[in-house]
Amino acid sequence: MEIKWHGHSCFEIGEGTKIVIDPHDGRSLGIKAPVVKADVVLITHHHFDHDAVRVVKGNFKVIDSPGEYEMGDVHIKGIPAYHDEQYGKKRGQITMYKIENEGIKLLHVGDLGHVLTSEQLDEIGKIDILFTPVGGVYTVDAKKAYENVKLLKPKVVIPMHYKVSGMTLGIQPLDPFISYFPEDKVEHVGNSINFTKEDLPRETQVWVFIR
């Protein structure tokens, strides 16, 4: 499997069926726009920095709501959650996506704004890789993101939706989240990584992508 980061919450996943999650247009955030082609585009919610489908190339299907979907060799499960701690009263509902491909289970939680409930944890089940926002303000902050890590117990955590150089969005940087982990559990993997299920660590690691 290959995972490539396109900035903010946008990731490209897979080598057969190409999945792109939460594309942005770059310009609205002060960062580079994604250059990406997809078979499937997953939208966690319709805010400007997560649903710029127009930047994605290819003949793709858009999924933007809860449910179960079979796309080629990939199983996708959309699970409802909220953009805030008030059950969506401030910022609305989002859809988290659990993706199963090549024996690997990934969970992208979009702009999750709260600690996961027991019902959501039951619906998610076991996962190998967690994509979580850590920048606070509009999502969970570093502390609440770490609480979700402890609940989900993934093998790999991929932080996203945090302040980077040039970004105009007023959110927090990565460092507060990284501080919860020992140095030997943090890996800088570059812009993309190729791996198999057997390559995944036994104990939770943080994979930091660079763009």
179-207 tens-digit pLDDT? 999 999 999 999 999 999 999 999 999 99
The answer to whether 111 and 44 have CB atoms below 8 angstroms apart is yes
Range of the domain at 64: 2-209
User: Number of folded domains in the chain?
Assistant: 1
The rounded distance, in Å, linking the Cα atoms of 174 and 136 is 10
Q: Based on the number of CB atoms within 10 Å of its own CB, is 139 exposed (0-12), middle (13-18) or buried (19 or more)? A: buried
Ranges under pLDDT 50 in the chain:
none
Identify the pLDDT of residue 108: 98
- Ranges assigned E (strand) in the chain: 2-5, 11-13, 19-21, 36-37, 40-42, 56-57, 61-63, 67-71, 74-82, 93-101, 104-108, 129-133, 156-160, 186-190, 192-194, 205-209
- Provide the CATH number for the domain around residue 157: 3.60.15.10
The rounded distance, in Å, linking the Cα atoms of 30 and 89 is 28
Identify the pLDDT of residue 103: 93
Closest CA to 130 of 188, 200, 45, 33: 200
